[in-house]
Structure 1
Amino acid sequence: MRTPLRSMVVLLAGAALALAPQAAAAPPPTHVSVTAETRAAADPAYKILVFSKTAGFRHSSIDDGVAALRGLGTAHDFTVDATEDAGSFTAGNLAQYKAVVFLSTTGDVLDTAQQNAFEQYVRGGGGYVGIHAAADTEYDWPFYEGLAGALFHSHPAIQSATVEVEDRAHDATAHLGGAWQRTDEWYNYRTNPRTTARVLASLDESSYSGGNMAGDHPIAWCKDYEGGRAFYTGGGHTDESYTEPAFRRHLLGGIRWAAGMTDADCRPENGYTALFDGSSTTGWKQAGPGGFTLADGTLTSHGGLGMFWHSAREFTGDYSLKLDWKAAGDDNSGVFLGFPASDDPWSAVNNGYEIQIDATDAADRTTGAVYGFRSADIAARDAVLNPPGEWNTYELRVTGERLEIFLNGRKINDFTNTDPARSLRQGHIGIQNHGDGDEVSFRNIRIKQAGGQEPGPRSGPVKGVNGKCLDVDNSQSTDGTKIQLWTCNGTGAQTWTIAGDGTVKALGKCLDVSGGGSADGTKVQLWTCNGTAAQVWAPQSDGTVRNPRSGKCLDASGGTWNDGTAVHLWTCHTGPNQKWTLP
């Protein structure tokens, strides 16, 4: 929930109609993009409770963790009360705190009455932050298991691993690059939280030894839970964690979100295909003057009035478009839907619909409005809109001619097109650069289609280099079977089904990246379908087929391509051995 002060900060911004982009290519860094503990936006003063009671293994890092949280509180306007007394868990006492941090708690730490008080606190809108061994806590309390998202299973030795940052809009991860290399004790979990929580970061199991979650290994996540907010991070075993600026900022972002000082879309997310993943603008085109600069996986507007539009594909039917955006200050931009292909940015204005980004203007042309047609619910918008300098997430959900607009996971507008000259169900999408002085940034543009252009699965051969077909070795269906090139023969081993959820199936199983890896040369194999990102493939306009999770392409190995040539994952380069013709 927002305080009046924060609502006032939120209402910065500027006015008018917006358009256009052009991208200056620069590969995003694969490292942490913060070298110091950056300050979050000013928050009203609040209090958190840090609870570190242990009934099992006790981490030596707890004292360092408490000290780090106190330091964050001093720097960022919140007070830390630290305790190991479970007697603090009463309804009256908990009511003073915006969030409760379980700092490497272990075992059964609360009795029944204390559990009931904490459940009441969460259901009343309270926040929960779990750090590391918080997942090794209260195994017999179903409410807590749901709150934490997943419970501890095992761990390998302390070692360096690559953390893949999946959500760069949440305040806990927005400061990070696409990959975060760090050393910790990396927990395996009993269940995968992806179906119930928004995964913010996951582990590349090929980058270390001992991961056992079949290549889909969440390590930080958030969720709305029974009226409250829950954030968990698996980091924090080592003493050194709490002096790392990037990890401290990660904790700060989790605390701010759990305490309601910032908002994010923490709904579970699966099945989306990247239109812009931070590494390439292939398939996008600039219309009009100005453009966008690509840096750190982010498109940032300059000049205008123009628009950067996805020219490679026209979307028809029902779909959900998601994208993350941030205004630098009192800046203007918008997202356009349902317009015909054109190099004139005004064509989108006159033939499509703009979802506005600009929080101060008339009601029908402010953030969340369908520009010129329908205002957002301003009260609902203000309750969840993050101020300039912080990231927001839009979901634009098209069902028939109905457009539902979600901001940071909350519905703020519901519009139905009745103009026969326009259609939400058919057209291109684009982002606008409004003009000189307007600086709006975008990340992670992705889409999930439910119909229209892809009304159902398509089946047939997948043809590659030298006219050979993608083939399951010896027609075997055992998990781990090699995928290769072979002379086309029309058998079931070469009959692939391309589904709307991004899976590619043969013999009842899925085309899979071994271990969910991302290294060049990672084996591509047949595996039981499991709904993970290792089994999602996205055809590109240049003929390549990309695994969005890794950002790499399906590739026929080597330099001569004969029967039996294995396929694997490789950095995209658009050579002939990465071009595929799909059914």
Structure 2
Amino acid sequence: MIGKVLAALLMLPAPVAALATPAAAAADDPYDVLVFSRTAGFRHDSIPAGTTAIRELGAANGFSVTATEDPAVFTTAGLAPYEAVVFLNTTGDVLNAAQQTAFEGYVRGGGGYVGVHAAADTEYDWPFYGNLVGAWFASHPAIQAADVVVEDRAHAATAHLPQRWHRTDEWYNYRTNARSTAHVLASLDEGSYSGGSMGADHPHAWCKTLDGGRSFYTGGGHTIESYSDPAFRAHLLGGIRYAARQANADCRPETGYTPLYNGSTTGWTQAGPGSFTNADATLTSTGGMGLLWYSAKQFTNYSLKLDWKMAGDDNSGVFIGFPPSSDPWSAVDNGYEVQIDATDAADRTTGSVYTFKSADLAARDAALNPPGEWNTYELLVEGEHLQVFLNGTKINDFTNTDPVRSLAGHIGLQNHGDGDDVSFRNVRIKELGGTTPPPGPRTGPVRGLANKCLDVSGAGTADGTKIQLYTCNSTAAQNWTVTPNSTFKALGKCLDVAGGATANGTKVQLYTCNNSAAQVWSAQADGTVRNPQSGRCLDVSNNSSADGQQIHIWDCLGAANQKWVLP
């Protein structure tokens, strides 16, 4: 796969229109597909059209197709040439016991399975097959139009589709819900048609792994017309490519996630000069260096999943564990970046914890889809332990041991710079609970106006010592221990509003820590630092960046002289 990635980087392909003639973003290695359409029950008149469509897809996308209804091919030697086997509208008992054993060995050994429509109406007495297909057929209403709700828009079978896909087909009800054992790619909105019997959760297409093998199933494909529909043909092609290991995906079962972004940017804040366009429930980076960060909440123990795609040789990253700030460099200096850029050095390439730990490059290369195709990250944070999964494969395992940093905090998506075109979809999170406390104290400089530092005048320790702005010099007078929504400490004493006053212009000083409201400071999403008792913000007096300028409190204005970057 990495060869494809590098080749695609060199070609720098332009994005393909969503419903253009189905084709992989980068040329696949040649492979072979067996189409099996034997029926021992109802026979679909669409089988010839389906076979022709798969042959045409193969001719256009570099795989050969052998079509048969003879089960004698189901031997160890007979199946060995094929990377995937398509069960095209099969029905009833189509394999004998020996053939079943051979096919089970083929799948468990790494072979691919694609089930189309009535493949779920097949081999009811074979438990392995029931697990492989994901769910058995129960019933169906009359052929009619319905809305397919696309849940996963990163998988090769569904990435080209809109969030709601309106089409006509025969809509199966299933005996069980596949969601507990498979990753659901699309479901049916039973309110959009009549005759559904599974309720609010009605899976329609899904994928899964079984030992070494891969499985993809779609409930579509009853009608002859399906196989001339470009969207359905691309859906079928993506399933074949996944099963044949030409495209990677995270097909582990997924439940319990809350969307942070799936079209709406509510709760997100842009820091820095760059930005993201937001169209078709897709964020695409544009402009200069910046960070779109989820300012509505910080997270501790969680599983963060998101889908991303590079247009070519591009650069971006996912940031975690940083404090609130309007400066994108705060995330760089205080958090951790999981990198997106397959062509950089080992400790700063896709899957690395940027400059801290390289990914397992062999595992990464095997799991990575090339530019023009979507990838899925899971960042699993448990305390100070981070595991990175790429398309369901673990590629990094990192433990934070830096007492100044933490994996707990905000999350953000980087727009690296003009010309670095990276897109994101379906950002979702599952909070895991546990006993890990909220982000603890962080120690370091507090930077403000003109990139100068919050400073204790003369490094004095007497109560009432002036707090000022001063050129950063890495001395103890500028080394602050910041506890979120609590104190700022330096030289063993606290940042304090003189006399506990609340008026504009009240000086800020160093004072013995006394747990009073005059010593409580709360960082805000816009980069300001507020004293809740007064409702006013930490402010550089007269908006002057001169060394020695007095720090005081003032009405919160969000101006540059009230913006601070915390450690």
Select which of 50, 55, 60 maps to 1:70: 55
The match for 1:366 among 349, 365, 372 is 349
CA-CA distance at 1:373 after TM superposition: 0.2
Taking only aligned residues, the RMSD between alpha carbons, in angstroms, comes to: 1.7
| CA-CA distance at 1:227 after TM superposition | 1.5
Q: Choose which of 4, 28, 32 in structure 2 pairs with 1:6.
A: 4
Task: Tell me whether 1:292 sits opposite 2:268 in the alignment.
Answer: no
Q: Where does 1:155-554 land on structure 2 (aligned, <5 Å)? A: 155-278=140-263, 280-316=264-300, 318-424=301-407, 426-451=408-433
Structure 1 residues 421, 10: closer, same or farther in 2, change over 3 A? Answer: farther
**Aligned CA distance change for structure 1 residues 34 and 366 (closer, same or farther; 3 Å):** closer
Give the Cα–Cα distance (whole angstroms) in 2 for the partners of residues 366 and 253 of structure 1.
Answer: 27
Cα distance change on mapping 1:5 and 1:428 into 2, 3 Å? closer
AA matched with 1:327 = M
Task: Give 3-state SS (helix, strand or coil) of 1:164's partner.
Answer: strand
The aligned residue for residue 124 of structure 1 is 109
Note the alpha carbon deviations across 1:216-242, whole angstroms, 9 max, x for none: 100000000121000000000000000
Q: Distance in 2 between matches of 1:10 and 1:146?
A: 36
Q: What is the percentage of aligned positions where both structures have the same residue?
A: 71
- Following the alignment from structure 1 to structure 2, what is the Cα–Cα distance between the partners of residues 212 and 38? 33
The secondary structure found in structure 2 opposite 1:201 is strand
Q: Are 1:13 and 1:332, in contact at CA under 8 Å, matched by a contact in 2?
A: no
- Contact 2:22-2:57 within 8 A present in 1 as well: no
Counterpart for residue 515 of structure 1: none
Instruction: Give 1:449 deviation, angstroms.
Output: 0.4
* TM-score normalised over the length of structure 2: 0.75
Rg (Cα) greater in structure:
2
Task: Report Cα offsets for 1:264-296 as digits up to 9, x if no partner.
Answer: 000000000000012x10110100011100011
The offset of 1:314, in angstroms, is 1.3
Q: Compute the displacement of 1:362 (Å).
A: 1.1
What is the Cα deviation at residue 406 of structure 1?
A: 0.2
Corresponding residue pairs, total: 433
User: Where do 4+ consecutive residues of structure 1 move more than 4 Å?
Assistant: 10-14, 452-455
State the secondary structure of the residue aligned to 1:68: helix
Please give the residue correspondences for 1:104-119 in structure 2 after superposition, counting only pairs within 5 Å: 104-119=89-104
Structure 1 residue 452: Cα displacement: 6.1
Distance change >3 Å, CA 295–CA 45, structure 1 → 2: same
Q: Give the 3-state SS of the residue equivalent to 2:119 in structure 1.
A: helix
The code of the aligned residue for 1:430 comes to G
Q: For 1:34 and 1:367, how far apart are their aligned partners in 2?
A: 25
Give, in angstroms, the shift of residue 34 of structure 1: 3.5
Asked whether the 8 Å contact 1:13–1:360 carries over to 2, the reply is no
- For 2:395 and 2:7, locate their aligned partners in 1 and report how far apart those are by CA, in whole Å: 19
* Conservation of the 8 A alpha-carbon contact between 1:334 and 1:357: yes
Contact 1:49 1:99 in 2 (8 A): yes
Amino acid at match of 2:394: K
**CA contact under 8 A between 2:19 and 2:160: conserved in structure 1?**
no
Structure-1 residue corresponding to 2:513: none
Task: Give the Å deviation of 1:50.
Answer: 0.1
Q: Deviations over 1:159-195 (max 9, x none)?
A: 0000000000000000001000000000000000001
Tell me how far apart the structure 2 counterparts of residues 102 and 314 of structure 1 sit (CA, whole Å): 47
SS in 2 for 1:442: strand
Preserved contact between residue 10 and residue 382 of structure 1 (Cα < 8 Å): no
Distance 1:35 1:148 in 2: 27
Distance 2:436 2:429 in 1: 13
Unaligned runs of 5+ in 2: 438-524, 526-567
CA contact (8 A) 2:94 2:122 kept: yes
Preserved CA contact (<8 Å) 1:305 1:433? yes
- Cα deviation, residue 303, structure 1: 1.6
CA contact (8 A) 2:9 2:312 kept: no
Which of 24, 27, 37 is the aligned partner of 1:52? 37
Q: Could you say if the C-alpha distance between residues 59 and 244 of structure 1 is closer, same or farther in structure 2, counting changes exceeding 3 Å?
A: same
Deviation, structure 1 residue 454: 11
Q: Which residue is 1:520 aligned to?
A: none
Mapping of residues 26-41 of structure 1, within 5 Å:
34-40=18-24, 41=26
Instruction: Tell me by how many angstroms 1:37 deviates.
Output: 2.1
Q: Does 1:95 align with 2:77?
A: no
CA shift, 1:123, in A, is: 1.0
For the residues of structure 2 that align with 1:13 and 1:453, how far apart are their CA atoms? 49
Q: Does the 8 Å contact 1:12/1:388 carry over to 2?
A: no
Q: CA deviation at 1:36?
A: 3.0
Structure 1 distance, partners of 2:62, 2:34, is 14
Looking at structure 1, the residues matched to 215 and 19 of structure 2 have their Cα atoms a distance apart, in angstroms, of 27
Equivalence for 1:84: 69
SS of alignment partner, residue 128 of structure 2: helix
Residues 422-445 of structure 1, C-alpha deviations (whole Å, 9 max, x = no match): 111x21000000001100000000
Q: TM-score, normalised by structure 1?
A: 0.73
2: CA distance, partners of 1:133 / 1:159:
17
Aligned mates of 1:363, 1:47 — CA distance in 2: 34
**Cα pair distance change 1:35/1:169, threshold 3 Å:** closer
Q: Distance in 2 between matches of 1:169 and 1:9?
A: 21
State the match for 2:508 in structure 1.
none
Structure ranking higher on relative contact order (CA contacts 8 Å, 6+ apart): 1
* Structure 1 residues 346 and 7: alpha-carbon distance in aligned structure 2, compared to 1, 3 A threshold: closer
Code of the residue aligned with 1:344 in structure 2: it is D
Instruction: State the 1:120 CA deviation.
Output: 0.8
Alpha-carbon separation, structure 1, partners of 2:214 and 2:232 = 20
1:153 aligns with 2:151: no
Contact 2:22–2:233 (8 Å) recurs in 1:
no
> Equivalent residue of 2:429, what SS?
strand
CA contact 1:192–1:217 (8 Å) conserved in 2: yes
Asked if structure 2 preserves the Cα contact closer than 8 Å seen for 1:199 and 1:268, the reply is yes
Secondary structure in structure 2 of the residue aligned to 1:315 = coil
- Residues 10 and 385 in structure 1, CA contact (< 8 A), matched pair in contact too: no
SS of alignment partner, residue 326 of structure 1: strand
- In the aligned structure 2, how far is the partner of 1:11 from the partner of 1:244? 31
